[in-house]
């Protein structure tokens, strides 16, 4: 009886293990994510005509059971290319970049004037003075596009991690997507623009 019970337990454990999906929390290096953002801006916002026909991999199917084990997988070579190519297959992201490119001169005008600044969350923030309703609309549309881009990066991270793409998995990597996008906006800000540091303090670059 004991032997049968042991065999039953072993069989049950084997079934669980064979159906499990081991989810590893991948660390995406800042330089690779920012490089992917830069590539997309150059190619999709009209500042660079360079194009690439690489294809991203398909997500593997999920099993009935899922277990999560703590762990970190460091990025392999070509991660920035994988991220940018994956995002270029997202119509909403491509459209967002094109719309951002179409209004960049107007957004630069607002940043030059000091009326808006680059917030720590990667979004534009209206800072000082009154701006017209039209300019408020520009800021709102720009921020909606930026949200789409940052979410697209999170989705790309999930796909490259070969995890199930849902709100839970996207939420796990969203902080990285936002942090690195905001960091790039600070890095690329022109002299005289207002930027908000991660601690919340505003400074003029």
Distance of alpha carbon 107 from alpha carbon 109, whole angstroms: 5
Residue 129: the pLDDT is 74
pTM above 0.85, yes or no: no
Q: Which of 118-127, 159-168, 175-184 has the lowest mean pLDDT?
A: 159-168
pLDDT at 19 over 50: no
Region 14-42: mean pLDDT is: 72
> 162 or 55: whose pLDDT is higher?
162
DSSP 46: S
Structure tokens at 199: 């601690």
Residue 53: the pLDDT is 39
Structure tokens at 56: 């991203």
Backbone angles phi, psi at 124, to 5 degrees: -75, 145
**Which pLDDT tens digit goes with each residue over 50-95?**
334 333 344 333 333 333 333 344 445 699 999 999 999 999 999 9
**Which pLDDT tens digit goes with each residue over 120-152?**
999 999 997 789 999 999 999 999 999 999 999
Residue 57: the pLDDT is 41
Region 152-176: mean pLDDT is: 95
Q: Give 104-121 as a DSSP string.
A: HHHHHHHHHHTSEEE-TT
pLDDT at 16 over 60: no
Distance of alpha carbon 165 from alpha carbon 60, whole angstroms: 11
Residue with tokens 């997309």: 40
Distance of alpha carbon 92 from alpha carbon 83, whole angstroms: 15
């Amino acid at each position: 009886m004991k032997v049968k019970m042991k065999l039953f337990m072993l069989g049950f454990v084997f079934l669980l293990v064979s159906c499990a999906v081991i989810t590893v929390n991948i660390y995406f290096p800042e330089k690779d994510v920012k490089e992917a953002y830069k590539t997309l801006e150059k190619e999709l916002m009209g500042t660079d005509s360079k194009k690439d026909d690489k294809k991203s991999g398909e997500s593997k199917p999920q099993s009935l059971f899922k277990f999560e084990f703590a762990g970190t997988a460091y990025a392999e070579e070509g991660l920035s290319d994988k991220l940018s190519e994956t995002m270029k297959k997202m119509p909403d992201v491509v459209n967002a970049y094109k719309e951002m490119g179409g209004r960049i001169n107007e957004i630069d005008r607002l940043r030059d004037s000091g009326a808006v600044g680059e917030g720590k969350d990667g979004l534009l923030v209206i800072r000082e003075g009154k701006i017209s309703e039209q300019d408020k609309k520009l800021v709102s549309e720009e921020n909606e596009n930026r949200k789409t881009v940052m979410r697209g990066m999170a989705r790309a991270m999930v796909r490259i991690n070969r995890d199930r793409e849902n709100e839970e998995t996207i939420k796990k990597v969203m902080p990285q997507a936002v942090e690195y996008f905001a960091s790039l906006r600070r890095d690329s800000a022109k002299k005289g623009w207002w930027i908000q540091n991660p601690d919340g303090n505003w400074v003029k670059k």
